[in-house]
Structure formats: C-alpha cells, structure tokens
Amino acid sequence: MSHISAITENPVFSRLSKETIDLLVRFSVKKELIKGTYLINQGDLWPYLFLVTRGQIVAEKDSVDGRTFIATTFKPGEIFWGITFFIENAVMPASLKALDHASIYLWSQKDLKPIIEADGVFSWEINKMVVSRIQFASELLESMTFHPIAVRLARLLVGIAEGGERTSIERNLTLDEMAARIGSTREMVCRLLYKFSDEGLIRITRTDFSVTDPENLLKRAQK
C-alpha cells in the first residue's frame, strides 16, 4: 500500500492513463533484497522489468579471470529490465546485486507485454527509457576506451564528492570497489589517490577524504 506512489509517481509512467497505471499496480510484485544478495546472475534468462524503491542495485560484469567490473548502479526511482524481457532466450550480460538493503517492484514479461502492446504511449515511454540507457552505455564505452585510468578515477571521485566539496567524507568505498568501477586494480587506485593528494587536489587519510577542487582534479588528471 504505502509505496504504491513509487509507481504512480514515476516519471516513466507519468503520461499513462489511469487504467494502465491500475494494471501496473495490480501486476507488480514487491521484493526485498538483503545486502549482498544477487537478484540474478550473468548468463541467466530473466524476463522481468523492475523499479528500485530503496537501496542500490549494481550491475556487475564478471570476466573469465575473476575480475569484476561494475557497469552501473540503479538508485531509487530508476527502472531497468532483463534482456529476456524483450528478447526471448537472450541472456543477461551482467549480474544484478543489492549493494545494501534494497526494495524493488517486479513485473514479468508475460503480464506486461500485453499492456505495453495495448498502450502506445506506455510503449513509447519504455522506448525512451531503454534508449537513454544506450546513451549511458555509450558514454561508459567512451570513457573506458579513450580515457586513461587517472581520468576515470578522477571522475568517480568528483561524482562521489559532488555536493559536499571541501567537507571531509568518510571513505565508504573500498579500494577494490573503486577499482571495480573504473576497471583497474586496488594498488593502482591507491597510488593515484596519493598522487592526487600530493598535487593538492584531494585530501586523504586512511579513513576519509575530501575533494578540494573538482575542476582542477579533472583537468590535472588528463596528464
């Protein structure tokens, strides 16, 4: 009951008719995930659409040699899907894991496809949502292909510190987690962190850090 508003008020659904929204609510299944749980694994068939209402879900890709790369994270209000939702017998290219205690709404393809096909506006909104993810993937690709790891790390830091410049922030990502997000190793991350610190771009101790000057951080990371 309480969180139905997460559905009715989501921007993706905002243009929908009352009838469609009612159907959406009716077919939704709520699910709680405790920290560290995998919603699904890379390689699974998973024909669902989901909406995050609490916590964070990360999409992580594993490589053969055991390294994992975090491609993106889904925050409350965001919607995502399993490929199988759209393409029968296509398999998930990444695992989905709850970063902390998370709540999501789930819809199965079986329930939703008829609704989408019946409502052109809904369908168009789904298209928009899907395409905006492509755009994101494209940026990620560019970042991984063209930018050296110093720049990727600098971006990550700026993203984390965003809002609270100058103020000291508790280090809530381990070196390994940072490394997974920029596609590198913990040693590398550590080295760069202290290099940035030596150049006066950030201030860092073993337990917390702050970004002194985001613009210069990005600029200097280029070389």
Query: What torsion do the CA atoms of 132, 134, 136, 137 make, to the nearest 10 degrees?
Result: 170
> In this structure, are residues 129 and 50 in contact, taking their beta carbons and an 8 Å threshold?
no
**145 touching a copy of itself, by CB under 8 A:** yes
What does 149 bind: DNA, a copy of itself, none (CB cut-off 5 to 8 Å by kind)? DNA
Give the DSSP letter string of 143-195: HHHHS-HHHHHHHHHHHHHTT--SS-EE--S-HHHHHHHHTS-HHHHHHHHHH
36 vs 77 by CB, closer to DNA: 36
Nearest approach, Cβ of residue 169 and DNA (Å): 13
CA dist 86 and 129 (Å) reads 13
What does 17 bind: a copy of itself, DNA, none (CB cut-off 5 to 8 Å by kind)? none
What does 150 bind: a copy of itself, DNA, none (CB cut-off 5 to 8 Å by kind)? DNA
What does 223 bind: DNA, a copy of itself, none (CB cut-off 5 to 8 Å by kind)? DNA
Q: Which residue do the tokens 């694994």 mark?
A: 41
Residue from 35, 67, 75, 219 binding a copy of itself (CB under 8 A): 67
Plot region of 43 (φ>0 → left; ψ -120 to 50 → alpha; else → beta): left
**131 touching a copy of itself, by CB under 8 A:** yes
Contacts with a copy of itself by CB under 8 A lie at 61, 63-64, 67, 69, 71, 81, 83, 86-87, 90, 93-94, 113, 116-121, 123-124, 126-128, 130-135, 137-142, 144-146, 183
